[in-house]
């Protein structure tokens, strides 16, 4: 475990995470549609690429360049030069894309600053309740194991996003992917929709930080925090420098 953090640039979220994402493990973000998962991935990806480090972005849902342009502003070309985007069309292709990205990151030929899989469970969800459910579960587990090893060996932060299902008994939104996914991710954030453009990141699991939450909002140019009037963010531990 390293003490390094990758700042997301969203001040409230960075405070919640005592500086940002851990660099040697998988961070999972789950939440309902429209909660801001993709925008968060794009925001962090743009930040890393802008700083000249490579981003491997596995996109199962079709990231539009327009959305990235809004976040990137005049840096779009510079950011696109450092973004290696793959758009798998099924779970098998997704596994291959993750394996390739992991191998390139571990090989260390170029400075890799981030690996994103958005969404890790889109194709997996499609195969649930079908005859290939067991195969899909196994494929997802292998892919997650690959991501865990890449993060640890290459010291590259990995963000995966995850969709949710509603537990009718509990009335809660639960992440897909079962317990394996929840063990593979060392940091888990849940994004909630609040009113209008306001969103809340809830820290559900972390290796060294207590549970907590932070508000941010969606703007025309990306994600911003803090939100005026929000008191949900705990103070950062003494000695932590936000970058």
The count of other CB atoms within 10 Å of the CB of residue 193 is: 16
* Candidate list 1, 34, 52, 65; residue touching ligand ATP; CB under 6 A: 34
> Per-residue string for binding with ligand ATP, 120-159, x by CB under 6 A?
----------------------------------------
Structure tokens at 76: 């779009």
Q: How far apart are CA 144 and CA 160, in angstroms?
A: 9
Task: Decide: is 39 part of the binding site for ligand ATP (CB under 6 A).
Answer: yes
> One symbol per residue from 153 to 192: x for binding ligand ATP (CB under 6 A), - otherwise; what is it?
----------x-----------------------------
Vertex 86 angle, CA 149 and 22, to 5°? 35
For Mg ion, which stretch binds (CB under 5 A), given 33-41, 52-60, 73-81, 127-135? Answer: 33-41
Candidate residues 9, 19, 31, 175; the one interacting with ligand ATP per rule CB under 6 A: 31
Shortest Å distance, C-beta 37 to Mg ion: 5
Instruction: Tell me how far, at minimum, the Cβ of 240 lies from ligand ATP, in Å.
Output: 27
Give per-residue burial for 208-222: e unless 16+ CB within 10 Å, then b: ebeebbbbbbbeeeb
User: In what side-by-side order are the strands of the sheet with 222-224?
Assistant: 83-86, 54-59, 112-118, 158-162, 26-31, 185-193, 198-205, 212-219, 222-224
E strands within 106-184? 112-118, 158-162, 164-167, 172-175
> Of residues 197-236, which lie at the interface with ligand ATP (CB under 6 A)?
197, 218-220
**Nearer CB in complex with ligand ATP: 24/36:** 36
Between helices 37-50 and 65-72, what is the axis angle to 10°? 60
- Residue 1 CA to residue 114 CA, distance in Å, equals 17
Site string for ligand ATP, 77-96 (x = CB under 6 A): --------------------
User: Residue 139 CA to chain centroid, in angstroms?
Assistant: 19
- Closest-by-Cβ residue to ligand ATP is 34
Binding mask 173-202 for Mg ion (x = CB under 5 A): ------------------------------
Strand partners of residue 22? 5
Q: Which of 38, 121, 162, 213 binds Mg ion (CB under 5 A)?
A: 38
Query: Residue 116, interface with ligand ATP (CB under 6 A)?
Result: no
Binding site for ligand ATP (CB under 6 A): 31, 33-39, 61, 163, 197, 218-220
């Amino acid at each position: 475990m390293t003490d390094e953090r990758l700042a997301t640039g969203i001040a409230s979220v960075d405070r919640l995470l005592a500086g940002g994402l851990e660099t040697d493990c998988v961070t999972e973000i789950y939440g309902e549609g429209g909660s801001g998962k993709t925008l968060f991935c794009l925001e962090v990806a743009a930040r890393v690429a802008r700083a000249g480090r490579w981003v491997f972005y596995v996109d199962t849902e079709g990231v539009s360049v327009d959305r990235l342009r809004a976040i990137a502003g005049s840096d779009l070309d510079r950011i696109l030069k450092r973004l290696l985007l793959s758009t798998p069309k099924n779970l098998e292709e997704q596994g291959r894309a993750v394996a390739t990205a992991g191998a390139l990151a571990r090989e260390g030929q170029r400075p890799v600053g981030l690996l994103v899989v958005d969404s890790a469970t889109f194709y997996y969800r499609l195969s649930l309740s079908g005859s290939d459910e067991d195969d899909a579960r196994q494929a997802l587990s292998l892919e997650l194991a690959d991501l865990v090893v890449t993060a640890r060996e290459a010291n590259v932060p990995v963000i995966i996003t995850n969709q949710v299902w509603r537990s009718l008994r509990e009335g809660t939104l639960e992440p897909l992917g079962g317990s394996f996914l929840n063990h593979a991710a060392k940091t888990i954030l849940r994004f909630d929709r609040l009113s209008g453009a306001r969103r809340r990141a809830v820290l559900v699991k972390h290796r060294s930080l207590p549970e907590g939450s932070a508000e941010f909002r969606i703007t025309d140019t990306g994600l911003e925090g803090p939100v005026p009037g929000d008191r949900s963010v705990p103070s950062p531990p003494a000695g932590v420098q936000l970058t």
